[in-house]
Structure 1
Amino acid sequence: MKRLLMAVALSLSIVPVTAFGFGNMGQPQWNSANPSTAPAAPQSAPQSPAQGADISGRVVQTINSGGYSYVLLKKADGEKVWVAAPELKVNVGEQLTFEGGMEMINFQSSTLKRTFEKVVFSNGIAKGKDGKAKEAKKDQRSPGSMGAAVAVTDEKIKVKKATGKNAYSIAEVFKKKDKLKNKQVVINAKVVKVSSGIMNKNWIHLQDGTGSHMTADNDLVVTSDDIPIVGDLVTVKGKIETNKDFGGGYKYNVIIEKAKITIN
Structure 2
Amino acid sequence: MKKQLTLILAGLMTLALAAGCKEKTPEVTEQQKPAAAAPTAPAAKGKSGTVVETMNSGGYTYLQVDTGTEKIWAAAPEFPVKVGDPVVVPEGMPMANYHSKTLNRDFEVVYFVDSVMVGGEQAAAGQSTMPEGHPPITAAEGNGVDVSGIKKAEGGNTVSEIFSAKSELAGKEVTVRGKVVKFSPQIMGKNWIHLQDGTGDNGSNDLTVTTDSTVNVGDTVLVSGVLNTDKDFGYGYQYAVIVEDAKIIVE
Give the TM interval when normalised to the shorter protein: 0.3 to 0.5
Q: What is the TM-score with the length of structure 2 in the denominator?
A: 0.45
Structure of higher CA gyration radius: 2
Q: What is the TM-score with the length of structure 1 in the denominator?
A: 0.43
